A and B are shown apart, each in its own frame.
Chain A
Amino acid sequence: MKITIASGKGGTGKSTVAANLACTLALSREVALVDCDVEEPNLHLFFPAAAVDVPVTTPVPEIDLARCTFCGECGKFCRFGALSVLKDRVLVFPELCHSCGGCSLVCPQGAIEEVPRTVGRVACSCPLPSLTLISGVLNEGEVQAPAVIRAAKLLAEGHPLTLYDASPGIACPVIETLEGSDVCVLVTESTPFGLHDLRLAAEVAEGVGIPAGVVINRSDGQDEATLDFCRERGLPILMTIPFSREIAAVQNRGGLICRDLPGWEGRFAGLFDAIVKIAGVSP
């Protein structure tokens, strides 16, 4: 089973939920936890361990100047500005390239070859006996987050139970993370911002056709607006985590509440049961 933890709004507690859920489940089974927030992965902070790096490359164009006639077709085609055809030369901006391969298709001279370029890496570690942590890391200044997410997910293939920690937002990286998931957990907070972005994230999960449920984090007990929205949209509330100094203190020192605070291991086990119920597949 593949579970995506997403949110829309940043800072609602995706990684907190993912890390605690993974740690709880790893007590009784094999779990792969994939950090798909490749622009700022942070799950390794909860699970420090030595990691093995695998580079991630994407194809970028290389111009054969012996064949190029500077006709400009590739530059006109590239909507990302990765190729500039000038009078007597072609400039390639590989960091702007999205690796669509279109330039090599439109080149009438066959002067464009695609060559691999490293844009990030995937770090693999085993911080607990039954837990494999796979973190995607996009290099600074790069744009191809989905390529790194794909590579990280690929390395987790074959695990019977996989958790994907998505990035905030609802753009390409989140869609890439959701792809192939059985179920989506949307972590929100009871603020106008949290609700605004929950609405967007719920629409995305629905659009991709993945069943979803909601975890309310930092709840002050006045979650009516969020509860109304969830009722209206048929989104089950899977768990509510209170706004508490004690929880924040554990979190701030890189601890896990399922390990450091009594009762939370059981609550995260309960969260998993609720997730299995809405996923409609066997764990």
Chain B
Amino acid sequence: MIVGITARAAGTDAPVEQRFGRAPYFVFVDTETGKVESIENPLVDAAGGVGPRAVQMFSEHGATVVITGQVGGNAARALEAGGIKAYAYRGSGSVADALAEYTAGNLQPLSLA
């Protein structure tokens, strides 16, 4: 399973970013192989419509789970349509911390309705 986490920098030591579509980086972690891929988000300075475009990037990277602070309405619709589950991480820890919390079952699903 691939988990995508919004982050302020690359790698699993980077702090988690609360914003979804305008997060500076997306960190994708394959929970089976442990492989980590960080991509710089090209949408940071885009004018609008970043939510659905970010979802498309998560979908392209094969992510089935997203961990972030919160998502907007258009992103929520796209996540739901794409069958991607979103979980809320509101702490100030790293990508690795957020992933550990998720694995331990401590994160609440974000309401996409």
Q: Does A250 contact B (CB under 8 A)?
A: no
Q: Does A75 contact B (CB under 8 A)?
A: yes
| 1/0 contact string of A168-184 vs chain B (CB within 8 Å) | 00000000000000000
Residues of B within 8 A of A78 (CB): 49, 53
Q: Does B96 contact A (CB under 8 A)?
A: no
Stretch at the interface among B7-15, B26-34, B74-82, B105-113: B74-82
> Do B81 and A91 touch (CB < 8 A)?
yes
Q: With A75-B53, A87-B83 in contact, is A96–B48 under 8 Å at CB?
A: yes
* One of A75, A93, A143 near B74 (C-beta < 8 A): A93
Closest to A97 in B: B49
Residues of B within 8 A of A72 (CB): 56, 60
| 1/0 contact string of A82-117 vs chain B (CB within 8 Å) | 111111010101001000000000000000000000
> Do B59 and A87 touch (CB < 8 A)?
yes
Q: Which residues B15-55 have CB closer than 8 A to chain A?
A: 46-53, 55
Interface centre among B47, B50, B56, B59 (most CB of A within 10 A): B56
Residues of A within 8 A of B82 (CB): 84, 86-87, 89
- Closest chain-A Cβ to B50's Cβ sits at a distance in Å of 6
Q: Does A81 contact B (CB under 8 A)?
A: yes
Residues of A within 8 A of B52 (CB): 81-84, 91, 93, 96
How many Å lie between the Cα of A11 and that of B100 in the bound state?
53
> Do A80 and B48 touch (CB < 8 A)?
yes
- Closest chain-B Cβ to A242's Cβ sits at a distance in Å of 40
How many Å lie between the Cα of A204 and that of B46 in the bound state?
23
How many Å lie between the Cα of A78 and that of B51 in the bound state?
13
**B interface residue count range (under 10 / 10 to 19 / 20 to 34 / 35 or more):** 10 to 19
Residues of A within 8 A of B60 (CB): 72
> Do A86 and B56 touch (CB < 8 A)?
yes
- Closest chain-A Cβ to B78's Cβ sits at a distance in Å of 5
Q: With A75-B53, A79-B46, A87-B82 in contact, is A96–B59 under 8 Å at CB?
A: no
Residues of B within 8 A of A79 (CB): 46-47, 49
Closest to A96 in B: B49
- Closest chain-B Cβ to A82's Cβ sits at a distance in Å of 6
Residues of A within 8 A of B59 (CB): 84-87
- Closest chain-B Cβ to A92's Cβ sits at a distance in Å of 10
Q: With A84-B78, A87-B82 in contact, is A75–B56 under 8 Å at CB?
A: yes
> Do B55 and A84 touch (CB < 8 A)?
yes
* One of A75, A80, A81, A86 near B81 (C-beta < 8 A): A86
Residues of B within 8 A of A80 (CB): 47-49
* One of A85, A87, A93 near B49 (C-beta < 8 A): A93
> Do A84 and B53 touch (CB < 8 A)?
yes
Closest to B58 in A: A86
Residues of A within 8 A of B74 (CB): 81, 93, 96
Residues of B within 8 A of A85 (CB): 56, 59
> Do A84 and B50 touch (CB < 8 A)?
no
Chain A residues with a Cβ under 8 A of chain B: 72, 75, 78-87, 89, 91, 93, 96, 143
Chain B residues with a Cβ under 8 A of chain A: 46-53, 55-56, 59-60, 74, 77-78, 81-83
Sorted from nearest, which 9 A-B pairs have the closest CB atoms?
Answer: A81-B49, A86-B82, A84-B52, A96-B49, A81-B53, A80-B49, A81-B52, A84-B78, A84-B56
For the complex with contacts A81-B52, A96-B48, 18 further pairs of A-B residues with Cβ separation under 8 Å are A72-B56, A75-B53, A78-B49, A79-B46, A79-B49, A80-B49, A81-B46, A81-B49, A81-B51, A81-B53, A81-B74, A84-B52, A86-B59, A86-B81, A86-B83, A87-B59, A91-B52, A96-B49
